[in-house]
């Protein structure tokens, strides 16, 4: 039988000889993730089950990142539940404030995800790890609780939609722009319940950070995950991370000569749809309120004034994102009366930004340089919007009330557009500076 990448990974995690689209399967997972919002519910259900020990204390990851550092007593209590559970079960991958980061940037950085893995997380943006050639998807807290017990999860085998990107990217174009364009083309339900497989000459040349940004927002089109065939760029990233962290896995590290070098969709695999895009003429894009699919060129939105700009999140808080922003901002000041909030995705990104002088550039320009946190992305803290305020962010959602008041507005863009807009005080194409 011919299979897509996603189907091959799912099949490898079952005891079955073959699988079919729309079939329910019981799969063995490689990793189960929870955060300070979702994990407390999973922990409560786990305790109700009467099971005394988790299935594997190395395959459960807990990251307090959404309201951490704790913004109030309620969030402090949520984080404490994670800390106590991690201590009780001797979890190897519990990341407290000071060593934590935004979960979907942190896990790849720590070498906890590898090509071919099956990872679940009680957070919708778990799909980010598909950039590494894994099947990674969000689940509910009760599914997470079940995984804590026996390391398994029920999944419905999804159909796959293939996206092929051709042409040559213009200056300032990024993975964020490509995924915004894609969502604009198919809509927020265009891949509902499906795998989005990103491919083509453009994808083959993208950096891992740009790939992470694309896979991260597959859920904004309704996708189960956004997967990219692992290639030399993928394996170089995995090898580098494993080498830096001196990681020892319970399973052997997949080497360049292993079977995963051929982890790709079969030529005759079935796709529900195939989209081909020539992106040569595309320019940096902005998703306007109140949907990620309401996409327009940044150059056409020059009359949109801003109160706040946020650069960070699990979509665009990596070191390459901060380097782009600092390069444009160096020697300049942000618009008076505007708030610029920079949130590095992890402690490692934070330290690198300080080492390279990026943090100083942001602060001298009039910005705020924060500790890693999801913060304002979900209306948590560190930049909540009041009534009537307007924000341009490198985050992934701009629904009504997403960042605060339901009478505020959120626009989404790449770091390049975001920082250029912070300088001008209105949505701006970087070349307009």
> pLDDT of 178-218, one tens digit each?
999 999 999 999 999 999 999 999 999 999 999 999 999 99
Tokens found for residue 16: 């079955």
Per DSSP, the three-state class of 275 is strand
Let me know: does 154 contact 143? Beta carbons within 8 Å. Answer: yes
CA dihedral (37, 374, 417, 201) in degrees, to 10, reads -70
Tokens found for residue 229: 């065939």
- 97 backbone dihedrals φ, ψ, rounded to 5°: -55, 135
Higher pLDDT, 367 or 251: 367
Q: CA 310 to CA 349: how far, in whole Å? A: 16
* The pLDDT of residue 217: 98
pLDDT tens for 213-232 read: 999 999 999 999 999 999 99
Q: Give how far Cα 143 sits from Cα of 61, 140, 166, Å.
A: 15, 5, 38
Tokens 């580098």 appear where?
240
Q: CA 382 to CA 374: how far, in whole Å? A: 9
| Nearest C-alpha neighbor of 104 from the set 221, 182, 218, 274 | 218
Q: Which run of H or E residues covers position 166? A: strand 160-166
pLDDT tens for 349-370 read: 999 999 999 999 999 999 999 9
Let me know: does 169 contact 279? Beta carbons within 8 Å. Answer: yes
Give me the sheet containing 339-342, strands edge to edge.
295-297, 285-287, 409-412, 390-393, 308-311, 339-342, 368-369
| Nearest C-alpha neighbor of 326 from the set 340, 314, 315 | 340
Q: CA 295 to CA 287: how far, in whole Å? A: 4
* The pLDDT of residue 250: 37
All domains of the chain, ordered by start, with CATH?
5-158+228-261 (3.30.499.10), 286-432 (3.30.499.10)
Q: CA 369 to CA 357: how far, in whole Å? A: 12
Q: Is the pLDDT of residue 256 over 70?
A: no
Give residue 254's pLDDT band: very low, low, confident or very high (50, 70, 90): very low
Q: CA 43 to CA 62: how far, in whole Å? A: 11
Q: CA 58 to CA 156: how far, in whole Å? A: 26
Q: CA 239 to CA 341: how far, in whole Å? A: 33
Q: CA 90 to CA 286: how far, in whole Å? A: 44
* The pLDDT of residue 390: 98
Let me know: does 320 contact 344? Beta carbons within 8 Å. Answer: no
Instruction: Give the predicted TM-score (pTM) of the model.
Output: 0.94
Q: CA 155 to CA 171: how far, in whole Å? A: 41
What percentage of the chain has pLDDT greater than the value 70?
Answer: 96
| Nearest C-alpha neighbor of 394 from the set 371, 376, 367 | 376
In this structure, the chain runs to a length of 433
Q: Is the pLDDT of residue 258 over 90?
A: no
Summarize the confidence of residues 2-30 as an average pLDDT. Answer: 96
Q: Is the pLDDT of residue 417 over 80?
A: yes
Q: Is the pLDDT of residue 251 over 70?
A: no
Q: Which run of H or E residues covers position 278? A: strand 273-278
Which residues on adjacent β-strands are paired with residue 286? 296
Give residue 244's pLDDT band: very low, low, confident or very high (50, 70, 90): confident
Give residue 243's pLDDT band: very low, low, confident or very high (50, 70, 90): confident
Summarize the confidence of residues 63-69 as an average pLDDT. Answer: 95
| Nearest C-alpha neighbor of 276 from the set 219, 188, 202 | 202
pLDDT tens for 43-61 read: 999 999 999 999 999 999 9
What percentage of the chain has pLDDT greater than the value 90?
Answer: 94
pLDDT tens for 74-123 read: 999 999 999 999 999 999 999 999 999 999 999 999 999 999 999 999 99
Q: Is the pLDDT of residue 248 over 50?
A: no
Give residue 257's pLDDT band: very low, low, confident or very high (50, 70, 90): very low
Q: Is the pLDDT of residue 259 over 60?
A: no
Q: CA 249 to CA 242: how far, in whole Å? A: 10
Give residue 260's pLDDT band: very low, low, confident or very high (50, 70, 90): low
Summarize the confidence of residues 406-433 as an average pLDDT. Answer: 97
Summarize the confidence of residues 149-177 as an average pLDDT. Answer: 97
Q: Is the pLDDT of residue 310 over 70?
A: yes
* The pLDDT of residue 302: 82
Q: Give how far Cα 75 sits from Cα of 36, 66, 371, 381, 401, Å.
A: 8, 9, 17, 11, 20
Let me know: does 53 contact 178? Beta carbons within 8 Å. Answer: no
Beta-strand ranges (E) seen in 298-380 are 308-311, 339-342, 368-369
DSSP-assigned states of every residue in 287-308:
EPTT-TT-EEEGGG-TT-B-SE
Q: Is the pLDDT of residue 255 over 50?
A: no
Q: Give how far Cα 195 sits from Cα of 157, 161, 293, 298, Å.
A: 9, 6, 18, 29
What is residue 381's DSSP assignment? S
Tokens found for residue 165: 């990107």
């Amino acid at each position: 039988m011919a299979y897509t990448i996603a189907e091959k990974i799912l099949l490898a995690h079952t005891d079955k000889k073959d699988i079919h689209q729309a079939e329910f399967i019981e799969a063995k997972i490689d990793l189960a993730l929870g955060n300070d919002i979702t994990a407390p519910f999973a922990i409560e259900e786990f305790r109700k089950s009467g099971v005394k020990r988790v299935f594997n204390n190395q395959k459960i990851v807990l990251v307090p990142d959404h309201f951490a550092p704790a913004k109030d007593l309620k969030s402090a209590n949520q984080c404490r539940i994670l800390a106590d559970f991690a201590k009780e079960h001797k979890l190897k991958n519990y990341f407290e404030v000071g060593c934590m980061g935004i979960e979907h940037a942190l896990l790849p950085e720590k070498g906890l995800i590898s090509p071919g893995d099956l990872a679940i997380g009680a957070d919708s943006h778990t799909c980010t790890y598909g950039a590494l050639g894994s099947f990674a998807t969000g689940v509910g807290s009760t599914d997470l609780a079940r995984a804590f017990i026996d390391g398994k999860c029920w999944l419905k085998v999804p159909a796959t939609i293939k996206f092929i990107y051709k042409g040559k990217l213009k200056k300032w174009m990024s993975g964020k722009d490509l995924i915004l364009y894609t969502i604009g083309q198919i809509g927020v339900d265009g891949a509902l319940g499906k795998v989005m497989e990103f491919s083509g000459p453009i994808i083959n040349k993208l950096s891992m950070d740009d790939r992470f940004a694309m896979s991260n927002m597959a859920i904004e089109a309704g996708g189960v995950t956004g997967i990219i065939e692992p290639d030399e760029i993928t394996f170089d990233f995995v090898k580098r991370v494993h080498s830096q962290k001196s990681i020892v896995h319970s399973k052997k590290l997949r080497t360049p000569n292993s079977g995963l070098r051929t982890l790709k969709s079969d030529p005759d695999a079935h796709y529900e749809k195939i989209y081909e895009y020539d992106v040569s003429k595309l320019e940096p894009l902005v998703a306007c309120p109140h949907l990620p699919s309401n996409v327009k060129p940044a150059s056409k939105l020059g009359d949109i004034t801003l109160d706040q700009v946020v650069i960070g999140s699990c979509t665009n808080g990596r070191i390459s994102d901060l380097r782009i922003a600092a390069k444009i901002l160096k020697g300049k000041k942000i618009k008076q009366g505007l708030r610029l909030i920079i949130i590095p995705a992890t402690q490692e990104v934070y330290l690198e930004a300080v080492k390279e002088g990026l943090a100083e550039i942001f602060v001298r320009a009039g910005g705020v340089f924060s500790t890693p946190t999801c913060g304002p992305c979900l209306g948590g803290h560190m930049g909540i919007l009041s009534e009537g305020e307007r924000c341009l962010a490198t985050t992934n959602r701009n629904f009504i009330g997403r960042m605060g008041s339901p009478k505020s507005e959120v626009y989404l863009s790449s770091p390049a557009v975001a920082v250029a807009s912070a300088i001008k005080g209105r949505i701006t194409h970087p070349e307009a500076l």
